[in-house]
Structure 1
Amino acid sequence: MDPTEGHVTKRRAGVEIRAVVWLARHPLMTLMPAALVWLVATVGPWTPAIIAGAVGAAGLVWYRGHPMSFDAIAAPLLRSGVRRWGVYVGPRWWRAMEACELSKTHRRTGVERVPRIIRVRSYSPTIDSILVRMLPGQKIATFEARLVELADTLRVQRVAVERVKPGVAGLVIERKEAFTEPIPAPDLPEDPGAVDLGSVYVGETEHGQDWRLPVAGKHLFVAGATGAGKNSIPMSLLVGLAPLIRDGLVRIWCCDPKQLEFSQLSDICHRYAATESTCAELIGDYVADMHATQRKFAFLRRRKLHVSRDTPLNILLLDEMGALLAYGDPLVAREVRRLLALVGSQGRATGHSMWGLVQEPTKDTVSIRDLFTLRICLRLTAAAHVDGVLGENSRLRGALADEIPDLPDTAGIGYVIRQRSRVPVRVRAAYVEDADIAKLVAFVLAGRDQLPAAAGPDSQPAPEAAEHTGLTDRLRGALTMTGAT
């Protein structure tokens, strides 16, 4: 029989025992002083002082001589130690957990416990990543419900949470704004071999790392209010794809109802349209090209796309999707929705992708938004829109896109979802100016003039594709009924 069964005491373990347990959990706090005492006792105080001075001098030379490697290796370790022992351990952490009702008191013993910090990592000056051992009975939803209170209590900008493993939560703490100045446009690659379709540079993440997006086999959805910087994302991608566009390996089909930023790209687009009727016709031809490629793959018994001039990667760029799907003629919009749904559900295998930009990302405006595999949420005007773009409870986990200030300095700032953990990550797209766009157009046109005419991206489609090129009967009828043709 267990002698402690049924027995309750409110007396805690002694301070010395708790100190020993704490030191066992943090061995460096024991080993480092012990090693210093042993060294002083063995060789005297001068040798440790000389060693410490030499290490400090080497660190200073490293800091001044090679900032890139120092900031990548040493600085995160130093920041992590300072933040752990200066901010997240001790009375301040206890008070924060108590104030946010994340501590628990044992109902019988009266002992109060708080979630224990396992690890602190500070990979950038503005972001801390903390692993926390949750208390029994707690879950991720417990922290999600207290993120706003926790951010205010810790005096930080934002707190996001993710489930790392059973019983362990990961907190991403944004101490201050990570993006204080625009990011310059990406470098324009000269050689197609330098382009990785699975990882094209777009901008930077809040962790100070490159923000890259896959292009092949992905449908991209960008939501943001007026002035949020939506066009920065496709423009950055197009700069990264420049040599492939030049060589006819990537074809751009652009629907541009606004006729502003993307009109500068009309000369390098495979197809460009601006009015409701011409955009509808372009989308119909795009779907016909997709179907022709499907038949070609079936005939050749091919399952995967190998990008070439014969089978290029096709990108359907849709600026202001609301004008095509909700604000125009209902008959045309209905058929356009049907065609875009076909692209979203079937285009991946044949290299037919779509990039959609929208200001109002509601289900009524963009009913096919769930078919987009990559979603980016820039500044929005309503909190409910965030979950509609990034997925359920994304705002609760820390994607505060509706709280991004409506200022020119914040253009291009938004959130994406980390696929494995589903935690929101703050990002910023590079700013592509008019001069950069002009450079892109000149680069593509100059190289395209040197290509053989038959191999260029504007060559005539294959016979099996030409047979089905044009509007579908339903779309032609809709345009005829509205007097658009």
Structure 2
Amino acid sequence: MFKKLPGDEARTLVTTTPDTAVVFRPAVVRTPAIVTITIFLWRLLAGIVRLVWRHPIAVAVLAVPAVLGILYGWRLALVVVAVPLSLLAPWPFFDRASFNRWMGWRLLAWWRLVWVYRRHWQPVMIVSGLGRNLHGRDYLPRIVRVTCTSWADLVTVKMISGQSVKDWTDRIEHLAHGFGATSCRVTVARSGRLLLAFPRRDPLATPLPALPIPEVASVGPVEIGRCEDGTPWRLKVHGTHVLVAGATGAGKGSIIWSTIRGLLPAVRAGLVQVWALDPKRMELSFGRALFGDRYAASPAACADLLEAAVTVMQERADRFAGLQRNHTPTVDDPFVLVVVDEVAFLTAYQSDKGLKLRISAALATLTTQGRAVGFGVMAALQDPRKEVMNVRNLFPDKIALRLDESEQVDMVLGDGARDRGALADHISPVPEQGAGIGYIRLETSPDPIRARAGYVSDIDIRAMVADFAAEAHQ
């Protein structure tokens, strides 16, 4: 009565006969054994060639003793293995850095690849939705390589065709917990490949003391702390503007005072001037002697100081017009850094509308026209909402310290920053653990960088005032 059809077509049939059990068997094509054996041998040979090509040293280390053992006996093979091991054994105890660079991190990367990533790769990809199971076959992204540093595993992944970076950034928490890490950061290595960073430990957990004052006068970049990978955190202040956002106690003062500390030799040489606005009368007033008459605390005085900076900037722009496009600090035309602590009090919470308009207009003028003529603005605030700081997009470089809400991360660093791993809302509120830690979004790169600024104590500020106050406001 019914014609037998292949299994895929049988699903489309509808029977109107009640209580009728119709069974369809899918068509089966029997593959000859010789074809199966040939495919298996070809895949085995290709796998061996690929293994030798990718890991020649590891293959040689295993193959040479095995061949010697077969040809000349196990004693010679044992000697060949034991002698190099006995010579290499003291290496990590005498020079751990070179051992890790040449062998330690490679061995750890191999172990992490085998025991962590390949072992859990399929279930994590399928459960997180980054892999697909179609018709009983798994389509998974491929691990290209794993490298280890002193603090993290760096996993290079080839995406499935048709995937986007957002598919991965939306699942960073799945990836982190799936592979036993505290977080995961996603960056684009090249087209079709991603670099996943899984931290094994937190190198910024220990507070950093104030860095030594530089011996050479320079306008920057200013070294203010350490990045997560161990490199110095050098903050660019000349030729840009910096916005620092963080909750109370997040460490905004560490960044401000570390920057001023790094510029002190240039201040002494007359190449830099620091203009300070301190509406809270707390953070910058402690080193007020460093600023002299370029310090303001009341809203009216802050408006006057900002407008004075605009006047100097515009006078300099008139002199530079048609002669130069970039600023080089000199004694006659120094770099001017305008530091504004708690800028939201001046731009949003100021009750005097006239002062609010003056301050907002002056800040907008400095941030739009000041870079080319040697004026930079460093502004700090707690609330990064647009209605609080309507010129935040005029700051090319941004720093997000500890924030209260996850949505605030993208408000400060830009859309997608949190998905790329800038978890500023997860920074510990305990001062010893999280103060001064933040994520940096530079004008030249969308990928956030995690770093920690050195803590400049009251004693350090007093010493700075004692040594540099006389020259700072000449």
Could you say whether these structures have the same fold, taking a TM-score greater than 0.5 normalized by the shorter chain as the test?
Answer: yes
Tell whether 2:318 aligns with 1:295. Answer: yes
The CA distance in 2 between the partners of 1:175 and 1:25, in whole Å, is 30
Q: 1:176 to 1:442 in 2, by over 3 A?
A: same
Superposed counterparts of 1:213-228, under 5 Å: 213-228=235-250
Quick check: 238-247 or 276-285, which moved more?
238-247
Residue 333 of structure 1: CA displacement? 1.1
Match of 2:14 in 1: none
1:246–1:445 contact (8 Å) kept in structure 2: no
Q: In structure 2, how many angstroms separate the alpha carbons of the residues matched to 1:174 and 1:57?
A: 29
5+ residue gaps, structure 1: 1-6, 449-455, 459-485
Mapped contact 1:205–1:428 kept (Cα < 8 A): yes
Which of 246, 256, 261 is the matching residue for 2:278? 256
Partner in structure 1 of residue 446 of structure 2? 422
Q: What is the CA RMSD across the aligned residues, in angstroms?
A: 2.5
What's the offset of the Cα at 1:340?
Answer: 0.9
Rounded Cα–Cα distance in structure 2 between residues aligned with 1:293 and 1:10: 86
**Separation in 2, partners of 1:180, 1:390:** 23
**Equivalence map 1:143-162=2 (5 Å):** 143-162=168-187
1:22 Cα deviation from its structure 2 partner: 4.0
Q: Distance in 2 between matches of 1:8 and 1:312?
A: 84
In 1, Cα distance between equivalents of 2:276 and 2:385: 23
- Number of residue-to-residue matches in the alignment: 432
**CA contact 1:96–1:153 (8 Å) conserved in 2:** yes
- Structure 2 counterpart of 1:53, from 47, 65, 86: 86
Distance 1:250 1:425 in 2: 27
TM-score using structure 2 length: 0.85
Deviation, structure 1 residue 21: 3.9
Match of residue 413, structure 1, among 423, 432, 437 = 437
**What is the CA distance between 1:412 and its match in structure 2?**
0.9
* Cα-to-partner distance string for 1:346-368 (whole Å, 9 max, x where unaligned): 10111100000000011001000
- Report whether the alignment pairs 1:322 with 2:344: yes
Alpha-carbon distance in structure 1 between the residues aligned to 2:463 and 2:365:
34
Deviations 1:280-326 (A, max 9, x none): 00000000010111122127x12221211111000000000011100
Among residues 114, 117, 136, which one is paired with 1:88 in the alignment? 117
Structure 2 counterparts to residues 30-429 of structure 1, below 5 A = 30-38=59-67, 41=71, 44-63=77-96, 67=97, 69-70=98-99, 75-89=104-118, 91-107=119-135, 110-125=136-151, 127-192=152-217, 195=218, 197-269=219-291, 271-298=294-321, 301-328=323-350, 329-409=352-432, 410-417=434-441, 422-429=446-453
Larger Rg: 2
Partner SS, residue 198 of structure 2: strand
Whether the 8 Å contact between 1:201 and 1:211 is mirrored in structure 2 is yes
d(CA) in 1 for partners of 2:369, 2:259:
22
Bigger shift: 14-23 or 345-354? 14-23
Letter in structure 2 aligned against 1:115:
P
How far off its partner does 1:47 sit? 3.2
The answer on whether the counterparts of 1:160 and 1:423 sit within 8 Å (CA) in structure 2 is no
Q: Deviations over 1:215-263 (max 9, x none)?
A: 2111010000000001111211111111001122110000001111211
Q: Does the 8 Å CA contact 2:247/2:403 hold for their aligned counterparts?
A: yes
- The 3-state SS of whatever aligns with 2:252 is coil
Structure 1 residues 362-386: Cα deviation after superposition (integer angstroms, max 9, x where no partner): 1001000000011000111122111
Check whether the contact 2:186–2:194 (CA below 8 A) recurs between aligned residues: yes
Identity of aligned residues (%): 33
Over 3 Å counting, the alpha-carbon distance change for 1:45 and 1:74 in structure 2 is closer
What amino acid is the match of 2:330?
S
Q: Spell out, residue by residue over 1:408-432, the C-alpha distance to the aligned partner (whole angstroms, 9 max, x if none).
A: 1211112123666522222211111
5+ residue gaps, structure 2, are: 1-26
